[in-house]
Amino acid sequence: MTAFKFSKENEERVKEILTHYPPDRKASAILPLFELAQRQCGGWLPKEALEAITEMLEVSLIRGYEVATFYTMFNLKPMGKYHLQICGTTPCMLRGSEDLKGVCQRHLGIENKETTKDGLFTLTEVECIGACTNAPVVQINDDYFEDLDEKSFLKILEDLKADRPVKPGSAIGRQGSAPERRRANAKGK
Amino acid sequence: MPKLVIDDKEIEVLEGMTVLQAAAEAGVEIPVFCYHPKLSIAGNCRMCLVEVKNTPKPVASCAMPVCEGMVVHTNSAMVEKARKGVLEFLLINHPLDCPICDQGGECDLQDITMAYGRSSSRFDLNKRAVPDKEFGPLIETAMNRCIQCTRCVRFSSEIVGIPELGAMGRGEDMEIGTYVQKTITSELSGNLIDICPVGALTSKPYSFKGRSWELSHTPSIDVFDAVGSAIRVDTRGREVMRILPRQNDEVNETWISDKTRFAYDGLKYQRLDQPYARGEDGLLHPVGWKEAFSLIADRLQHVPGNHIATLAGDMVDAEAMVALKDLMTSLGSPHIDCRQEGSSVGVGPRCSYLFNTTIAGIEQADFCLLIDTNPRWEAPLINARIRKNYLFNNLPVASIGPVYPLGYPVKDLGNDPQILEKILKGKHPICSALKAARKPMLILGQGGLKRPDGDVILRLTQEIADKYGFVQKAWNGFNVLQTAASRVAGLDLGFVPGPKGYGTQKILEAAKKKKIEVVYLLAADEIDVNSLESTFVIYQGHHGDRGATVADVILPGCAYTEKEGTYVNTEGRVQRTLKATPPPGEAKEDWKIIKALSDKLGLSLPYVTPKEIQARLVEVNPLFDEVDRIQPSSWKPFGREGNVNPAPFEFAIQNFYMTDSISRHSRTMAKCVQQILGQEKVHA
């Protein structure tokens, strides 16, 4: 890969981000700039981007590398177009996240931390992403897909493969984290 | 000043001290891993937990400031339990491989576990495995043993100023490493081995060579640069096994440079272990001492005194120089010089060749001007002091000459000696900063001084120092940074050309024209030896290096670990080395060789015992009586009026790892040259 450069659009954004911090503390901009670069590079942070940003912020390379390895949201290897982050923590696990992993294994042929050959999907099992009421939850890029089961998850994967639009949120049509069925008292009435 | 009670002892300490420091003052030991007196406080190992009255939980004493009326317990049941717990957690992932670990026997974790840990392990799961890192030719890694104290990370970013090490990942997966398998380039990297409290970072050249309890320790002084770092020479039998720093806060604090630490293997190779003489076939043949001396005596018989010259090298002790100077005086030769690089300075007052600010004094400076010096190579520990001042006080540093990354920001004024004239005339933008500074200092490197116009530069620098208040009542900011361990002693002894005597350059030129017939090289190797091809050369030294290749008679001397010698460092501090090992073969102490030769020549020098030669040193210059102390020197004019040559400056040292006959024959240094040197470029 050749030297990394922010796109014209992002360059404006970089300028704007840098105004958030005093000039002698511009090192603080490292997280937003890494994030911006990761978006520009298709979901991962190449070495070249890391080097360019640390140089821009006058931070030593190793300090930047420490930051990039500390935060799990920065990916230092090429990622698929869609990053499937399946929550595997207890509530999601009880509600069937293992089945969702099975879908990835059977239909995409990937295990945890692997990418499909067509470069479309990368699977990562993550810890709680804070949407337990709508478990099981999968985060695909920036969106949460909730209340999934094997069928609805597979449909989403198929739609993504075919480049059809998908609808984030609950797969069973519930609003936010409202009760799944109609309101009922303890006796079910 | 707050008063507090530590283990029933009442003690009054300075405001702002930590509980750990207060405990040390009270004589109470608290075990630590991540705390290091010369580094910032991290507080992440939790080993130093103590109980403080009225706090519900144990407190990390290294990060806890003292306050009035504090009651601290370091031996309560709570503390004992906390220590056991911390050690148990640390040992979860630390391999129990002490029998095959180089740190075994001098390991903090081993000692502290013995003293404070549980007697047995409750852990029967798998330990984590961490891949070893490649840190270059000096540091061996066993990262399984790392306990993440981050001392090494703090050392490289704070003391060295070139952050190369970091903690990657998080939680249990945290690993110490460099950016994408980069080797460590610092000249102080060997200190990482000392500060690592476990066996994660150990010495590569010393790996699996010995155990700490097999070694004899000899306190001594380093001679690879003019700093005169305090070292400990560890030997087993006749062999130098390793070299470690001793603490001397006036000079090297607790650090030493990599050359000091690792070049010792050069002491094993290419040694001169018996006298040699060049036969009629043009080759060197081993001879006895008597034969070697008679050869010299025969040759000297018909040579007038002013056709004899002598040069002293960079690692020679004062005793040998004073003996050789006395011998040359008896022979009637004025052509003596200890400045083999050809510098014309050093004949003026003492302050003209000393580092007058002193090394510890650097910390008080509020402006630093570097003139053609690369302190990172010429004196890594002086560079570390400048860095320290930058770290604590944001010391502004400006530089005239080539540029090399030093570990702190340097304002590059350009590489043009005429800038000095501009500064003197007040016509340079930096002048306002110089005027504003209260305790400014400047460091003049050897690169500038060995130029033909070196003494003009010296005068210019002195005038700048006078004009901008570098020299005040209790402050002298004028510094010459010497690069050779022997140089200040040589100049103090007057090992410089006498009346009508030749300096180094002229000696070499005269030797070419055969006006000088005999040259006595006292371990002088940094000269153009080709000029001496038609001269009768007596080479006295410890290595078969450049000087020995043109020698007609070779007299084997001692290296710095093999003799008791006096050295004066660049500050003017008189220090003594001790004998750690015997010299190889028939080699003898240098001044004794010269004394024996003088007997053979019928010019008997009047000293026999070490005491007598030391008395002779004091007779020549009384300051040799003041060991480990710095004598103030009076400020008098020096140098020469003249015009500066506008040719750009060059650094005195081009290759940090090989500067002398020992480091040139060190295999470790050769690996450093291959793998480390040249990763960062000097910009002219």
Q: Cβ A66–B180 below 8 Å, yes or no?
A: no
- Give per-residue pLDDT as tens, B256-279: 999 999 999 999 999 999 999 999
B500 touches chain A (CB under 8 A): no
For residue A64, the distance in angstroms to the closest alpha carbon of chain B comes to 9
User: Does position A188 have pLDDT exceeding 80, yes or no?
Assistant: no
Helices (H), B621-660: none
Q: Does B180 touch chain A (CB under 8 A)?
A: yes
Query: Residue B157 and residue A60: Cβ atoms within 8 Å?
Result: yes
Give me chain A's average pLDDT, please: 92
> DSSP secondary-structure letter at B562?
S
pLDDT higher than threshold 90 for residue A185: no
C-alpha B658/C-alpha B661 separation (Å) is: 8
CA angle B407, B409, B411 (to 5 degrees): 135
Say whether residue A61 is in contact with chain B using an 8 A CB cutoff. Answer: yes
Q: For residue A60, give the nearest of B163, B168, B180 by CB distance.
A: B163
Residue of chain A whose Cα is closest to the Cα of B156: A62
Calculate how close chain A gets to B522, using CA atoms only, in Å: 46
Q: How far is CA B250 from CA B362, B425, B479, B611, B628, in A?
A: 11, 36, 16, 27, 10
Is the minimum CB–CB distance between A4 and chain B shorter than 8 Å? no
Contact A62 B169 (CB under 8 A): no
Q: Residue A70: its chain B contacts at CB < 8 A? A: 168-170
Distance, in Å, from the CA atom of B45 to the CA atom of B101, rounded to the nearest integer, reads 21
pLDDT of residue B295: 95
Tokens of residue B609, six digits: 């015992």
Of the candidates B421, B228, B449, the one whose C-alpha atom is nearest the C-alpha of residue B347 is: B449
- Average pLDDT, stretch B517-544? 94
Say what the pLDDT of residue B538 is: 96
Supply B272's token pair: 């001169």
Task: Assess contact for B523 and B321: CB atoms under 8 A.
Answer: no
Give the pLDDT band (50/70/90) at residue A189.
low
Partners of B234 in the β-ladder: B217, B242
Average pLDDT in chain B: 94
Of B139, B133, B134, the closest CA to residue B205 belongs to B139
Rounded CA gap, B558 and B583, in Å?
A: 6
| Chain A residues within an 8 Å CB radius of B163 | 60, 62-63
Residue B684: pLDDT band with limits 50, 70, 90: low
- Give residue B540's identity as a one-letter amino acid code: Q
d(CA B148, CA B469): 47
Whether the CB of B172 is below 8 Å from some CB of chain A: the reply is no
Query: Best interface-test mutation with B: which of A59, A63, A69 has the largest number of B CBs within 10 A?
Result: A69
Query: Given CA atoms B497, B532, B447, B457 in this order, what sign does their dihedral have?
Result: positive
> Is A62 at the interface with chain B, CB within 8 A?
yes
pLDDT at position B287 is 96
Strands of B239-245's sheet, edge to edge?
B216-221, B230-236, B239-245
**Residue A183 pLDDT more than 80?**
no
pLDDT recorded at residue A1: 53
Smallest CA–CA separation between A54 and chain B, in Å?
12
Q: What are phi and psi of B453, to 5 degrees?
A: -95, 25
CA distance B33 to B672: 30
For residues A135-159, average pLDDT? 94
Cα A74 to Cα A30, A34, A39, A80, B106: the distances in Å are 12, 8, 10, 14, 40
Provide the β-strand partners of residue A138.
Answer: A86, A145
Residue of B152, B157, B179, B183 to mutate, testing the A interface (most A Cβ within 10 Å of its Cβ): B179
**Would you list the DSSP string of B478-540?**
EEE----TTHHHHHHTT-S--TT---HHHHHHHHHTTS--EEEEES--SS-GGGGTTSEEEEE
C-alpha A10/C-alpha A6 separation (Å) is 6
* Contact at CB, B179 and A63, closer than 8 angstroms: no
H/E stretch holding B201:
strand B201-203
Do A65 and B166 make contact, defined as CB atoms within 8 angstroms? yes
Neighbours of B222 (CB within 10 A): 30
Predicted confidence (pLDDT) per residue in B12-38, tens digit: 999 999 999 999 999 999 999 999 999
* B168 lies within 8 A of chain A by CB: yes
CA distance B197 to chain A (A): 22
* Segment B34-79, tens digit of pLDDT: 999 999 999 999 999 999 999 999 999 999 999 999 999 999 999 9
Q: Which residues contact B275 (CB under 8 A, 6 or more apart)?
A: B286, B287, B288, B289, B291, B292, B553, B554, B555, B556, B586
The two three-digit tokens of residue A156, written as one number: 């989403």
Which of B164, B165, B169 faces A69 most closely, judged by CB atoms? Answer: B169
Supply the pLDDT for residue A174: 86
Q: Three-class SS of residue A52?
A: helix
Cis peptide before B606 (omega within 30 of 0): no
Distance from CA of A53 to the nearest CA of B (A): 15
Closest CA to A159 of A95, A82, A62: A82
- pLDDT tens digits for A100-122? 999 999 999 999 999 999 999 99
Mean pLDDT of B89-109: 94
Give the residue from B228, B230, B226 showing the smallest Cα distance to B484: B226
Element holding B195 (H helix, E strand): helix B191-195
Comparing CB atoms, the residue among B166, B169, B178 nearest residue A63 is B166
Q: Are B179 and A61 a contacting pair at CB < 8 A?
A: yes
| Secondary structure E strands in chain A | 82-87, 121-126, 138-140, 143-146, 169-170
By C-alpha distance, the chain B residue nearest A66 is B168
| Chain A neighbors of B164, CB-CB under 8 A | 62
Tell me what the mean pLDDT of segment B454-475 comes to: 93
Smallest CA-to-CA distance from B108 within B174, B48, B40 is with B48
Which positions ≥6 away from B328 have C-beta within 8 Å? B308, B310, B335, B336, B520
Cα B293 from chain centroid (whole Å): 35
Contacts of B167 in chain A (CB under 8 A): 66
| A74 inside 8 A of chain B by CB | no
CA dihedral sign, ordered B487, B491, B495, B497: positive
Got the DSSP string for B38-55? TS-----S-TTEEEETT-
Alpha carbon distance B30, B34 (integer Å):
12
pLDDT of residue B186: 92
Which residue in the set B166, B169, B170 is minimally distant from A62, CB to CB? B166
Whether chain B has a CB inside 8 Å of the CB on A24: the answer is: no
The CA distance from B395 to the nearest CA of chain A, in Å, is 17
Task: Point out the residue among B157, B164, B168 whose CB comes nearest to the CB of A69.
Answer: B168
Which residues on adjacent β-strands are paired with residue A123?
A84
| Chain A interface includes B165 (CB < 8 A) | yes
Number of residues assigned to chain A: 189
From first CA to last CA, the distance across chain A in angstroms is 64
Cross-chain residue pair B180–A60, CB shorter than 8 Å:
no
**Residue A28 buriedness (CB in 10 A; 0-12 / 13-18 / 19+):** middle
Condensed to tens digits (0 to 9), the pLDDT of residues B617-670 reads 999 999 999 999 898 888 998 988 889 999 999 999 999 999 999 999 999 999
Residue B46 tokens, joined: 């939790």
| Distance from C-alpha of A174 to C-alpha of A181, rounded to nearest angstrom | 9
Residues of chain A with C-beta less than 8 angstroms from the C-beta of B165: 62
Residue A173: the pLDDT is: 86
Long-range contacts of A111-119 (CB under 8 A, 24+ apart): A115/A78, A115/A79, A115/A80, A116/A80, A119/A78, A119/A80, A119/A81
Pairs of CB atoms within 8 A across A/B: 26
Instruction: Tell if the CB–CB gap between A70 and B164 is shorter than 8 Å.
Output: no
Contacts of B168 in chain A (CB under 8 A): 65-66, 69-70
d(CA A141, CA A150): 19
- Residue B308 pLDDT > 90: yes
B178 touches chain A (CB under 8 A): yes
pLDDT score, position B680: 76
Q: Are A5 and A56 in contact (CB under 8 A)?
A: no
Residue B348: its pLDDT value, please?
85
CB-based contact (8 Å) between B185 and chain A? no
Residues 6+ apart with CB under 8 A from B205: B138, B242, B262, B265, B668
Q: Return d(Cα B132, Cα B148) in angstroms, integer.
A: 14
**Interchain proximity A63–B165, CB inside 8 Å:** no
Q: How confident is the model at residue B215 (pLDDT cuts 50, 70, 90)?
A: very high
Residues of B in contact with A69 (CB under 8 A): 168-170
